């Protein structure tokens, strides 16, 4: 017997419409107080810090009151490894992910069923801002596994009714072949891997693609790299932001206006001075601090992301009412101070991309000399050049670096393909 079910995607949603779902301030802080109360009842490590400050859950009822609460960092979670940050019974945990730890143990993050649904809905909302729908074929080239990237895009696209190609990262030639054969219309990966895919496309097929959108994240990237990806892949390149401690990708995303990233209504965002932790006004650049008033398993209260951005005043032309953040300029723990000037990898990328004939691939070496921080840059040409052209490019690059960053930094221009490629997030800074 033939059964007529709902149309693709209708079982859960027909269209994410945040304008109809925005919670009031009272709802948000009632949810946050409920989480804080449960943490106090269970003796959660964060509740102990609140008690030391003499703060009760009922003391928090407005945005101004958030500054009463202590900030948290990934080290709070690491110091309670493996699941000491858990705020629910272990039997309620249905999934565990982890960040890529640079040293020692990874940062584990646990999810309840409700947390996973919140994550999927946020990802679906983010992707819908750029027009993803049930007619799309979404090629997810983020890694699947403990890293959250692949799962986030997979579940969000599925919720919208799109067809998902869960190809993960790596095997670039196969990626390009499947992209062409299936007619993938949406690509999701790191911007550095998108560069590698662009090289693979140019090497193997050149055309015949159906891509119209790319969602890129997991590392900071410049507007100059955006223009390069849009030109080489024939897409609209969308910046989508998230972090595993919050849930994964889906905290915020650009719409087609590409005028700042809309922040999910499930998060309360602040920017603070990274040194003093003083809360900053909208428009002032600082470190992004996130609070979730819904997240259950691993609470996120005034979490220091280390990402440098600003909250943007005024509405977006697209009509979406949620607040926006500027594109992340870099991380406070990735910032180099060279002769008194703050330098982020995204500034180096912008300077390189501004020079014709240069590839966006680069790597920074950083070290200390007599207590002072120093750096140098290894970068690539996009194609073979003669000695005269290379000399001219070197002059242009030296000027571009000085204009973009404000200081003179030594660099070496390498042949095409000389720098090591990665399938996921690029390692931009090598500390020596």
pLDDT tens across 396-409, in order?
999 999 988 888 99
Q: If DSSP states are collapsed to H, E and C, what string results for the chain?
A: CCCCCCCCCCCCCCCCCHHHCCCCHHHHHHHHHHHHHHHHHCCCHHHHHHHHCCCCHHHCCCCHHHHHCCCECHHHHHCCCCCCCCCCCHHHCCEEEECCCCCCCCCEEEECHHHHHHHHHHHHHHHHHCCCCCCCEEEECCCCCCCCHHHHHHHHHHHCCCEEECCCCCCHHHHHHHHHHHCCCEEEECHHHHHHHHHHHHHHCCCCCCCCEEEECCCCCCHHHHHHHHHHHCCEEEEEEEECCCCEEEEEEECCCCCCEEECCCEEEEEECCCCCCECCCCCCEEEEEEECCCCCCCCCCEEEEEEECEECCCCCCCCCCCEECCCCEECCCCEEECCEEECHHHHHHHHHCCCCEEEEEEEEEEEECCEEEEEEEEEECCCCCHHHHHHHHHHHHHHHHHHHCCCCCEEEECCCCCCCCCCCCCCEEEC
Cα(39)–Cα(41) distance, rounded to whole angstroms? 5
**pLDDT exceeds 50 at position 228:** yes
Banded model confidence at residue 10, pLDDT cuts 50, 70, 90: very low
**pLDDT exceeds 80 at position 423:** no
| Residue entry with tokens 């202590």 | 70
Residue 317: CB atoms within 10 A of its CB come to 10
Banded model confidence at residue 14, pLDDT cuts 50, 70, 90: very low
pLDDT tens across 270-299, in order?
999 999 999 999 999 999 999 999 999 999
Cα(270)–Cα(291) distance, rounded to whole angstroms? 9
pTM here?
0.84
Pick from 104, 118, 69, 111: which is nearest to 86 by CA?
A: 111
Look at residue 163 in the predicted model and tell me its pLDDT. 98
Buried b (16+ CB within 10 A) or exposed e, 289-301: bbbbbbbbbbbbb
Q: What percent of the chain has pLDDT over 70?
A: 94
Cα(303)–Cα(269) distance, rounded to whole angstroms? 10
Q: What percent of the chain has pLDDT over 90?
A: 76
The residue extents of the domains of the chain are 111-329, 336-431
Q: Which tokens is 348 given?
A: 């180096």
What's the fold here for domain 111-329?
Answer: Rossmann fold (3.40.50)
The answer to whether 111-329 and 336-431 have equal CATH topology is no
**pLDDT exceeds 50 at position 19:** no
What's the fold here for domain 336-431?
Answer: GMP Synthetase; Chain A, domain 3 (3.30.300)
Mean pLDDT, residues 183-207: 90
Name the more confident of 206 and 216: 216
CA 19, 22, 23: angle at the middle one, nearest 5? 160
User: Within its chain, how far is the Cα of 92 from the centroid?
Assistant: 28
**pLDDT exceeds 90 at position 392:** yes
Residues in the chain: 432
Mean pLDDT of the chain: 90
Cα(367)–Cα(39) distance, rounded to whole angstroms? 43
Look at residue 94 in the predicted model and tell me its pLDDT. 98
pLDDT tens across 356-389, in order?
999 999 999 999 887 778 999 999 999 889 999 9
Decide: 155 and 123 in contact? Cβ < 8 Å. Answer: yes
Look at residue 12 in the predicted model and tell me its pLDDT. 44
Pick from 202, 82, 184, 196: which is nearest to 139 by CA?
A: 184
CB-count burial class (<10 Å; 0-12, 13-18, 19+) for 110? buried
Mean pLDDT, residues 33-49: 96
């Amino acid at each position: 017997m033939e059964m007529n079910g709902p149309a693709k995607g209708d079982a859960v949603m027909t269209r994410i419409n945040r304008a109809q779902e925005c919670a009031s301030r009272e709802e948000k802080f009632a949810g946050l107080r409920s989480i804080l109360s449960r943490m106090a009842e269970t003796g959660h490590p964060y509740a102990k810090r609140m008690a030391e400050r003499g703060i009760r859950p009922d003391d928090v009822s407005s945005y101004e009151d958030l500054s009463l609460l202590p900030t948290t960092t990934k080290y709070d979670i690491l110091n309670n490894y493996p699941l000491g940050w858990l705020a629910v019974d272990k039997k309620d945990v249905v999934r565990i992910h982890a960040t890529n730890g640079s040293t020692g143990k990874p940062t584990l993050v646990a999810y309840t069923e409700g947390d996973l649904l919140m994550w999927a809905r946020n990802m679906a909302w983010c992707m819908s801002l750029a027009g993803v729908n049930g007619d799309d074929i979404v090629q997810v080239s983020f890694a699947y596994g403990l890293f959250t990237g692949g799962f986030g895009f997979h579940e969000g696209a599925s919720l919208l009714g799109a067809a998902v190609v869960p190809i993960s990262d790596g095997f670039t030639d196969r990626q390009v072949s499947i992209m062409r054969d299936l007619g993938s219309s949406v690509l999701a990966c790191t911007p550095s891997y998108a560069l590698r895919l662009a090289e693979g496309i140019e090497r193997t097929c050149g055309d015949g693609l159906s891509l119209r959108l790319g969602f890129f994240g997991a590392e900071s990237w410049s507007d100059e790299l955006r223009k390069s990806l849009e030109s080489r892949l024939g897409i609209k390149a969308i910046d989508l932001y998230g972090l595993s401690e919050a849930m994964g990708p889906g905290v915020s995303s650009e719409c087609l206006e590409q005028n700042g990233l809309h922040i999910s209504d499930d998060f309360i965002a602040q920017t603070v001075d990274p040194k003093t932790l003083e809360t900053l006004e909208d428009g002032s650049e600082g470190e992004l601090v996130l609070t979730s008033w819904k997240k259950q398993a691993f609470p996120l209260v005034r979490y220091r992301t280390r990402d440098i951005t600003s909250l943007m005043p005024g509405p977006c032309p697209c009509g979406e009412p949620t607040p926006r953040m500027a594109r992340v300029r870099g991380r406070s723990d990735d910032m180099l101070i060279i002769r008194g000037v703050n330098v982020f990898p995204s500034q180096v990328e912008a300077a390189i991309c501004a020079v014709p004939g240069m590839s966006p691939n680069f790597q920074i070496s950083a070290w200390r000399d007599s207590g002072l921080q120093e750096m140098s840059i290894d970068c690539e040409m996009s194609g073979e050049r003669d000695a005269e052209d290379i000399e001219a490019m070197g002059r242009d690059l030296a000027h571009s670096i000085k204009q973009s960053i404000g200081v003179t930094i030594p660099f070496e221009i390498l042949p095409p393909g000389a720098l090591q490629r990665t399938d996921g997030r690029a390692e931009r800074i090598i500390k020596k």
